[in-house]
Amino acid sequence: MCEQDFIPGEYEKSVPLGKVAWQSPSNIALVKYWGKKKNQIPANPSVSFTLKNCKTITTLEFQEKEIKGEDYDFELFFEGRKKDDFKPKIKKFFERIEQYSPFLKDFKLLIQTKNTFPHSSGIASSASGMSALALCVMSLEKKLNPGLTEDFFLKKASFLARLGSGSACRSIEGELIEWGEHASTAGSSDLFGIKYPYKLHEVFKTYQDTILLVDKGQKQVSSTLGHNLMYGHPFAEARFAQAHDNLDQLQAIFEMGNLPEFIKIVESEALTLHAMMMSSNPYFILMKPNTLEIINKIWEYRETTGVPVCFTLDAGANVHVLYPNEEKDKVLEFIKNELVVYCEKGQYICDLIGKGAEKL
Ligand code: DP6
């Protein structure tokens, strides 16, 4: 499919007013997206576990305007409060998707949104937030064009979400989503995320992710700025090639449930992401001392107990602790006894792999 396939034709119906709502989860990348080209095209393919508990719930109310198609007319409420400082981001999103969802200008919109995870937890809400909004936009399109197929609906939702925030395109479905052209993955695309099309071992289908909140502060570096630092980065080409290679290797690992090899790739990806940040110009360090304490504790625990627990990181200091469901009791005990001290106010969030967004 290409971009043109997402430009709608004539609408079948007119809808004076209505309301749609979606909840959409966050996701955690195993192979990281870091670096992008024009129009939110990723510099390398990535793959992520869709999460279940960390999600955004968004309601979109719409009413046809008397004078259609002038400018966007919308109000935004976050957790029940009017949130004008979020509006520029949403407006930018609408502008980016304008040719694919031109009908948005024909309606007066009321967007109400909230997260299930604490605000300012350092958890990026752009993946869940943008995917929930993209799905609401698609539900409105479906009211205008009831003939849209389920498959097209989900693809276009992912396509639109990507234009809001790259990683958001991996939050529409579950459990494992790949985004970005990759020679060994049939159907992979730079334009939207696809469900991982090969065999996934049972162990991964209930994988756990406990998010340790090391630093709940605002992000030091926006991801957009971070991605841009991959332009002219001395290690960029090698890094992009490595992501392709890691995805190649993961195919057999996902199939066989080979946890030692899974751990090697996942931890290396996390550290490489941070290594890219540390070696860009300007350079920055997003890990905190407690991030390193936790990593060392996880290594020590794995070494002494043989429990296959590992970590991954986003572009921040928080640590995602990944482990199989059958190790849950042991790992939670370990987290409570040894890792919680490194969390800000002792806070952490228990999540697990999920199946994607749901219409409400
Ligand atoms: C480190 O999706 O937040 O989490 O497209 O600029 O919105 P934008 O970037 P974003 O970048 C996510 C980067 C990452 C890795 C990943 O999720 O793959």
Helix 150-164 and helix 126-144: axis angle, to 10°? 140
Atom of ligand 1 nearest to the CA of 33: 18
Distance CA 28, CA 47 (A): 9
Alpha carbon 276 to chain centroid distance? 20
Structure tokens at 67: 């004078």
Q: What letter does residue 319 receive in the DSSP assignment?
A: E
The Å distance, Cα 117 to ligand 1 centre, comes to 18
Regarding the beta carbon of 46 and ligand 1, being less than 6 Å apart is answered yes
Distance CA 71, CA 95 (A): 10
Residue 46: other Cβ atoms inside 10 A = 27
User: To test the ligand 1 pocket, which listed residue (133, 220, 222, 223) has its Cβ within 8 A of the most ligand atoms?
Assistant: 223
The Å distance, Cα 264 to ligand 1 centre, comes to 21
Alpha-helical runs (H) found in the chain: 87-96, 126-144, 150-164, 202-205, 223-228, 236-256, 259-278, 289-305, 328-334
* Structure-token match 């508990």, residue found: 53
DSSP annotation string for 170-225: GSSB-SEEEES--TTSTT--SSSEEE--S---HHHHT-EEEEE-S--SPPSS-HHH
* Structure-token match 């990026």, residue found: 124
The tens-digit pLDDT sequence of the chain (360 residues) is 899 999 998 888 899 999 999 999 999 999 999 999 999 999 999 999 999 999 999 999 999 999 887 899 999 999 999 999 999 999 999 999 999 999 999 999 999 999 998 776 667 689 999 999 999 999 999 999 999 999 999 999 999 999 999 999 999 999 999 999 999 999 999 999 999 999 999 999 999 999 999 987 766 788 888 999 999 999 999 999 999 999 999 999 999 999 999 999 999 999 999 999 999 999 999 999 999 999 999 999 999 999 999 999 999 999 999 999 999 999 999 999 999 999 999 999 999 999 999 999
Atom of ligand 1 nearest to the CA of 40: 5
Distance CA 220, CA 229 (A): 14
Atom 7 of ligand 1 has which residue's CA nearest to it? Answer: 165
Q: What is the pTM of this model?
A: 0.97
What are the structural domains, with CATH classification, of the chain? 3-198 (3.30.230.10), 204-352 (3.30.70.890)
Distance CA 169, CA 8 (A): 19
Amino acid occupying residue 67: I
The Å distance, Cα 128 to ligand 1 centre, comes to 12
The Å distance, Cα 226 to ligand 1 centre, comes to 9
Q: What letter does residue 356 receive in the DSSP assignment?
A: B
Atom of ligand 1 nearest to the CA of 165: 7
If phi over 0 gives left and psi between -120 and 50 gives alpha, with beta otherwise, what is residue 250?
alpha
User: To test the ligand 1 pocket, which listed residue (30, 33, 191) has its Cβ within 8 A of the most ligand atoms?
Assistant: 33
Contact in structure between 302 and 324 (CB atoms under 8 Å): no
| pLDDT for 68 | 84
Alpha carbon 339 to chain centroid distance? 25
